Amino acid sequence: MRRFLLRRLAAIPLTLLAVSVLIFTATELIPGDVARTILGREAGDAAVARLRAELGLDRPIMTRYFGWLRGFVTGQWGDSTLLRVPVRDLVLTRLGDSLILGALAFALLVPVALTLGLVAGVNHDRPADRIISVAGLTLGAIPEFVTGVILLVVFAVRLRWFPASAQAPDGASPLTRLGHLLLPALSLVLLCTGYVARHVRASTVNAVESPYAQAIELRGFTRGQVVRRHVLRNSTIPATSALGVQLQFLLGGLVAVELLYNYPGVGALLLRSAVEKDLPTLQATAMVLGVLYMLIVLAADLAYRLLDPRVRLGAGAS
């Protein structure tokens, strides 16, 4: 276990290094001259050249990459070329907001998906299972911006149950904030529930049909007891890895949903800095997301390992 953890932790910097190369080259490849974009079409060539020098864009690419990398590692993320504020504060505040939204979505996703998956698995091949499976698949196939728009139109515009913007006015109570976040969180949940539920269903079917579940039922336990005490645990453990995958999806879904609901998270920031060629912000945001992504994968793996005694304790000392 400790060896696993060390190995995985050691792998993170290496992976991040590769990611940083990718991010750097990809952002460099965005067409158009950054300095000209910033200064506008009318600016003179001299001004553009001066800004290029100021931004260090005239230096060779390798120098710039290492400079940028050193900056990122030491926490000097530079200033946003667009907003003229330190990138670090910008990204970290936005990240905090995004995490709140993501956490809410996750908190909704887990019970909903587990319940649906369990119900489908215990009643597998019966109508309840069919409905849940088909619904999950269908919803999972619809992109989050589509479900987002539908939710927005129905619940915010027509029914007016929820505000259309995810951003609560300053000084609003936590409950109001929650109300503002509910719709965007819901569109993320709808996207992921089907996938997670499908995994839970599969492992539930396995557990229900497993010899041990049968043996336990033969000892005189009710179906309900078997499900509560044995099936539940055995079906949720394998599902942790599915949850890990879905968390990554959630991260991706944030971009569209934040934009749609006008929520100031990292997703929106990423998109805007890309459009506006705000390279320092773009690069830092991408890197932060990369770190986050890897931590999620690690956490999911770790959770699985901690939950499953077969993995946690290894082969038996018998």
Partner 1 sequence: MTTAGNGGGVEGPAAGNGGTAGLSVEGLSVAYRTGRGAATAVDGVSFHVAPGETYGIVGESGCGKTTLSRALGRHLPRNGAVTGGRVRVDGVEVLDLAPADLRSWRAASLAVVHQDAGGSLDPTMRVGAQLAEIFRLRGLSRAAARAEVPRLLARVRLPDPVSIARRYPHQLSGGQQQRVVIAAALTARPRLLVLDEPTTGLDATVEREILDLIWGLRSEIGAAVVLISHDLGLVGRLCDRVGVLYAGRMAEEGPARDVLTRPRHPYTAALLAAVPRLGESRHARALTAIPGHPPVPGEQVTGCPFAPRCAFADDLCAESAPLPEAAGAEHEVRCHHVDRLPDRPVPVDVAAPSRTGPGTPVDVAAPSLAEAGTPVDVAAPSLAEAGTPPGEAVPGGPLLEVRGLTRRYGRTTVVDDVDLTIGHGEVLGLVGESGSGKTTLARAVTGLGTRGPGTIRLDGQVLPAGVGRRDARARRRVQMVFQSPDASLNPSHTVRAILARALRSLRGSSSPQELGARAGLAAHLLDSRPGRLSGGQKQRVAIARAFAGDPGLVVCDEPVSALDVSVQAGVLRLLADRQRTSGTSYLFISHDLAVVGYLADRVAVMYRGQIVEEGPAGQVLHGPHHPYTASLVAASLARLGEPGGDPGTVPPGRSGATGCRFAARCPQRIDGLCDTEDPPVRTEGSGHTIRCHLGTGDLPRGTPGAATGAAPDPAKQKEDSPA
Positions in the binding site for partner 1 (CB under 8 A):
210-212, 214-222, 229-230, 233-234, 237, 307-310, 313, 315-318
> Based on C-alpha coordinates, what's the Rg of the chain?
24
Q: Which residues are paired to 79 by β-bridges?
A: 86
Between CA 270 and CA 279, with CA 274 as vertex, the angle to 5 degrees is 95
Minimum distance between the CB of residue 205 and partner 1, rounded to whole angstroms? 12
Between CA 138 and CA 147, with CA 142 as vertex, the angle to 5 degrees is 115
CB nearer to partner 1: pick between 70 and 233: 233
CB nearer to partner 1: pick between 178 and 216: 216
Minimum distance between the CB of residue 312 and partner 1, rounded to whole angstroms? 9
- 166 DSSP 8-state letter: S
- With a CB cutoff of 8 Å and minimum separation 6, the contacts of 311 are 304, 305
CB nearer to partner 1: pick between 10 and 317: 317
Minimum distance between the CB of residue 197 and partner 1, rounded to whole angstroms? 21
CB nearer to partner 1: pick between 15 and 210: 210
Cβ–Cβ under 8 Å, residues 292 and 103: no
Minimum distance between the CB of residue 149 and partner 1, rounded to whole angstroms? 42
In the chain, the largest separation of any two C-alpha atoms, in whole Å, equals: 87
CB nearer to partner 1: pick between 154 and 215: 215
Minimum distance between the CB of residue 310 and partner 1, rounded to whole angstroms? 5
What angle, rounded to 10 degrees, do the helices at 144-151 and 174-209 form?
A: 130
